[in-house]
Amino acid sequence: MEKPTVRDIAREAGVSLSTVDRVLNERTGVRPRNAERVKAAVQKLGYVRDTHAANLARRRVYNFVFVLPEGSNQFVDTLRGALKEASASQLTDRVSMTIKSVDAEDPHAVVSSLQVLNRHHVDGVGLMVPETPQVRDAIARLKENGVAVVALVSDLPHSECDHFVGVDNLAAGRTAGVLLGRFVKASYGSILVVTNSLGSRDSLERRLGLDEVIASDFPSLRTLPTVEFHGDVERLSEVILSALRAHPDLVGVYSMGPGNGRLLDALRTCGKLRDLVVVAHELTPTTKQALRHNEIDAVIAQNVGHLARSALRVLRAKCDDVQIFMAQEQIRIDIIMRENLR
Amino acid sequence: MEKPTVRDIAREAGVSLSTVDRVLNERTGVRPRNAERVKAAVQKLGYVRDTHAANLARRRVYNFVFVLPEGSNQFVDTLRGALKEASASQLTDRVSMTIKSVDAEDPHAVVSSLQVLNRHHVDGVGLMVPETPQVRDAIARLKENGVAVVALVSDLPHSECDHFVGVDNLAAGRTAGVLLGRFVKASYGSILVVTNSLGSRDSLERRLGLDEVIASDFPSLRTLPTVEFHGDVERLSEVILSALRAHPDLVGVYSMGPGNGRLLDALRTCGKLRDLVVVAHELTPTTKQALRHNEIDAVIAQNVGHLARSALRVLRAKCDDVQIFMAQEQIRIDIIMRENLR
DNA sequence: GTTGACTTGACGTACGTATGTCAATTAGCG
DNA sequence: CGCTAATTGACATACGTACGTCAAGTCAAC
């Protein structure tokens, strides 16, 4: 049972190679009757186009653009590195990748960066930006132009994306909650929750997941209102310190986003770090080091290498109009502790 | 900066295409001087062979064989399924895969299954069997015949394998130890350790990791001698029950291998399941269900889909004599709880 | 029956590589 | 210097697909 080729299709359908080609590549000038025959033959023989040979023949180069938030953020930095590494690897041959950094908080900046793409020849876009009506429209326009679009890390549920590459943040928050609840030895206490901004849907979902689990499974614990520092690290230190003073029963800290370095600094200065159960998000140099030093008890992470490769694979698949292999594209919620960090 | 092709190499080296081809494919009849020139040109231009085009031209089919332990074992079953799924997926084109099941405890059976491979045309082998001197020799013979060999799940450190696809079991045991230690609320108690056989190096390493971590980080806990049931599930139930009677201070159970279903049955019948912290290995229908019912607190797992795809990718890479992308082939120690199970 | 539009098939070239054949060149040796 | 053997290059064919060109075919409307 060799794999069928276009020749087999032509023979089976009783037409010429040219006609098969016209049907497969959706060119005009084929009578419906013959088109049907070809499609039937494809079905019957289970033909799948050899994309490698096809790409070879058409000298295809996949032109992908990734739009990531600018500014200092270790997670975004590692993601950027992973994207570059993945596109350099042999796996992702024939891919030419551009990474753009934009002020993700400024919808106008995001949109204008996407509008540019419509003019150039771009096959696929990966987006890590918050969803706004403007962004939604810009994505719709990209889709009109036949560009494949995937949401990266942050879902864009109301936009016409082809796929979301990232984790279920509600489940991530729940996971963090269980870890905090089970790691805390005290019979009661409160938990500090920190993030950059609850405006980002990731943080919001994580917070919801946390509260769900604490409320149902750990009623003796209490989650404090979310501390948001909105990029202002000075404020972060201050608020942490005052929270520590205000809540002497503090037993845990949940950091839902960036700013782990500053957060740890603040906790360190008041000497309570060792007594607190700390759960943070994302594996970065800071969190890795903190794990090794037992300053962070667990990290909830998504494998950036997997994110990057998955995004590239999905974009290719969408360009080629090929099924994706869901099992491989499922991004897991990783729990990293000192012992399984490597 | 287009990718260089063989033509570019020929021009750069000042020789003909034929000569370049002779060098690249290690054919005879090239003067050392010219061979050097070609190699230098390859270096200088950063040429990498387009394996897809090459495979197209030589009509290559990768012939891989996997040898897995026979007998009822949910983990092996899921692995088998993952292998089939992976080879069916588009990623692994041009791969023809055979899965053999052998009595892994019988070195003779394993070896004879490997000897057969030398006669047929096989490009690569994935092995999940215990290491014995006979197996070691059989692998050496495979390597002599130019067959790529990877160890799957269980490392074969003293054999000439090209690669090990699996996790660091010492670290896995340590991870289990930390989870047990931190999840147990009681101030002291003992931990039951169960496996099929400590003869398997995986179990042994996990046990060592567990003991390391319990001894150093949780001195108030005590790990009991390993219960081995050697495939005898009746014995498993019995021993569990008598252990429960003998150790009323039991606070945790660590199941290092197969047999989770029977173990849980035994724990269930004596009604102590809810009070115990249970950590088991591998995501299977049994452990998934037990996680959902809060009967198991955490599962230490390796993603079988990842194992399968990694094994196939590595075998291909070894056949093509191409570098592997280590970041992608690193199998992580997954910690699965109810909240991040999906 | 003629015209024109649409449809079809035959064929050539290309992508980057592999592999074979054969003649031409070169090196090594006496 | 001449001979033989080793080395080299030119060329052809192929893999599975894409795509362009052109002549021949079909069909309906006039």
Each residue's pLDDT expressed in tens, for chain B with a length of 342 residues: 688 999 999 999 999 999 999 999 999 889 999 999 999 999 999 999 999 999 999 999 999 999 999 988 999 999 999 999 999 876 657 899 999 999 988 989 999 999 888 778 899 999 999 999 999 999 999 999 999 999 999 999 999 999 999 999 999 999 999 999 999 999 899 999 999 999 889 999 999 999 999 999 999 999 999 999 888 878 888 888 888 889 999 999 999 999 899 899 988 887 777 889 999 999 999 999 999 999 999 999 999 999 999 999 999 999 999 989 999 999 999 999 999 998
Average pLDDT value over all residues in chain A: 93
Could you tell me if B170 lies within 8 Å of chain A, comparing CB atoms?
Answer: no
Encoded tokens for B98: 């055979």
- Distance between CA atoms of residues B131 and B91, nearest Å: 31
Chain B residues within 8 A of A51 when measuring between CB atoms: 90
Lowest-confidence pick of A146-160, A262-276, B69-83, B311-325: A262-276
Chain A residues within 8 A of B178 when measuring between CB atoms: 337-339
Question: Separation of CA B184 and C1' D22 in angstroms?
Answer: 82
- Distance between CA atoms of residues A273 and B98, nearest Å: 54
- Residue B233 DSSP code: H
A59 touches strand C (CB under 7 A): yes
Q: For residue A319, what pLDDT is reported?
A: 95
CB A153 within 8 A of CB A202: yes
Residue of B nearest to A323 (CA): B90
CB A134 within 8 A of CB A111: yes
Is 0.75 surpassed by the pTM of this model?
yes
Query: Which residue, among A340, A341, A342, would best test binding to B if mutated, counting the most B CBs under 10 Å from its CB?
Result: A340
CB A247 within 8 A of CB A227: no
- Distance between CA atoms of residues A21 and A14, nearest Å: 13
CB B90 within 8 A of CB B150: no
The helix or strand, by DSSP H or E, that contains position A251, with its residue range, turns out to be: strand A250-255
Tell me if A339 and B50 make a contact (CB, 8 A cut-off): no
Q: For residue A1, what pLDDT is reported?
A: 65
B18 touches strand C (CB under 7 A): yes
Tell me the average pLDDT across A23-47: 93
- Residue A338 DSSP code: G
Residue with tokens 């452990």: B287
Tell me if B52 and A48 make a contact (CB, 8 A cut-off): no
- Distance between CA atoms of residues B132 and B103, nearest Å: 14
pLDDT at A107 over 70: yes
| Residue B2 neighbours by CB distance under 10 Å | 7
B1 touches strand C (CB under 7 A): no
- Distance between CA atoms of residues B248 and B269, nearest Å: 16
Q: Which nt sits closest to B27, CA to C1'? A: C19
**Which protein residues have any CB–strand D distance under 7 A?**
A 3, 5-7, 17-18, 21, 24-25, 47, 49-50, 53-54, 56-58; B 14-19, 22, 28-31, 33-34, 53, 56-57, 59
The helix or strand, by DSSP H or E, that contains position A334, with its residue range, turns out to be: strand A334-336
Tell me the average pLDDT across A306-328: 94
Give the confidence band of A120 by pLDDT, cuts at 50, 70, 90.
confident
- Distance between CA atoms of residues B15 and B7, nearest Å: 10
Residue of A197, A319, A312, A311 whose CA lies nearest to A259: A197
Question: Separation of CA B34 and C1' D1 in angstroms?
Answer: 28
B128: burial class by Cβ within 10 Å (0-12, 13-18, 19+)? buried
Give the confidence band of A172 by pLDDT, cuts at 50, 70, 90.
very high
Q: Which nt sits closest to B33, CA to C1'? A: D7
DSSP for B93-109 reads TTEEEEEEEE-TT-HHH
Question: Separation of CA B14 and C1' D10 in angstroms?
Answer: 15
- Distance between CA atoms of residues A192 and A215, nearest Å: 15
Encoded tokens for B272: 């102590």
Residue of A122, A278, A154 whose CA lies nearest to A135: A154
Tell me if B89 and A177 make a contact (CB, 8 A cut-off): no
Q: Which of B85, B213, B332 sits opposite A339 (nearest CB)?
A: B213
- Distance between CA atoms of residues A274 and A310, nearest Å: 37
Q: For residue A212, what pLDDT is reported?
A: 97
Residue with tokens 């993603």: B303
Tell me the average pLDDT across A74-97: 89
pLDDT at A271 over 90: no
Q: For residue A88, what pLDDT is reported?
A: 86
Q: Which of A89, A182, A338 sits opposite B183 (nearest CB)?
A: A182
Q: Which nt sits closest to A27, CA to C1'? A: D19
DSSP for A235-283 reads HHHHHHHHHHHH-TTEEEEEE-SS-HHHHHHHHHHTT-GGGSEEEEES-
The rounded radius of gyration (Å) of the Cα atoms in chain B is: 25
Tell me if A91 and B339 make a contact (CB, 8 A cut-off): no
> Among chain A residues 25 through 54, which have CB within 7 angstroms of nucleic chain C?
28-31, 33-34, 53
Q: Which nt sits closest to A58, CA to C1'? A: D18
B292: burial class by Cβ within 10 Å (0-12, 13-18, 19+)? exposed
Q: For residue B289, what pLDDT is reported?
A: 97
Residue of B51, B9, B10 whose CA lies nearest to A55: B51
- Crossing angle of helices A260-269 and A285-292, in 10° steps, is 40
SS (H, E, C) B8-56: HHHHHHCCCHHHHHHHHCCCCCCCHHHHHHHHHHHHHHCCCCCHHHHHH
The helix or strand, by DSSP H or E, that contains position B127, with its residue range, turns out to be: strand B124-127
Q: Which residues contact A257 (CB under 8 A, 6 or more apart)?
A: A194, A195, A196, A197, A200, A202, A203, A281
Q: Provide φ and ψ at A247, rounded to 5°.
A: -125, 80
Q: Which of A48, A52, A335 sits opposite B335 (nearest CB)?
A: A335
| Residue A134 neighbours by CB distance under 10 Å | 14
Q: For residue B272, what pLDDT is reported?
A: 77
For residue A13, the distance in angstroms to the closest alpha carbon of chain B comes to: 25
- Residue B28 DSSP code: S
B11 touches strand C (CB under 7 A): no
Tell me if B89 and A328 make a contact (CB, 8 A cut-off): yes
Give the rounded distance of the alpha carbon of A97 from its chain centre: 17
pLDDT at A209 over 90: yes
| Residue A274 neighbours by CB distance under 10 Å | 11
Tell me if A168 and B90 make a contact (CB, 8 A cut-off): no
Nucleotides of D under 7 A from a protein CB: 6-11, 14-21
Tell me the average pLDDT across A262-276: 86
Give the confidence band of A149 by pLDDT, cuts at 50, 70, 90.
very high
B25 touches strand C (CB under 7 A): yes
Chain A residues within 8 A of B333 when measuring between CB atoms: 340
For residue B185, the distance in angstroms to the closest alpha carbon of chain A comes to: 7
SS (H, E, C) A107-171: HHHHHHHHHHHHHCCCCEEEECCCCCHHHHHHHHHHHHCCCEEEEECCCCCCCCCCEEECCCHHH
Encoded tokens for A294: 């037992």
Rounded to 5°, the CA angle A311-A317-A320 comes to 140
Q: For residue A92, what pLDDT is reported?
A: 59
Chain B residues within 8 A of A175 when measuring between CB atoms: 337, 339-340
CB B174 within 8 A of CB B339: no
- Distance between CA atoms of residues B142 and A80, nearest Å: 41
- Distance between CA atoms of residues A241 and A322, nearest Å: 53
Q: For residue B1, what pLDDT is reported?
A: 66
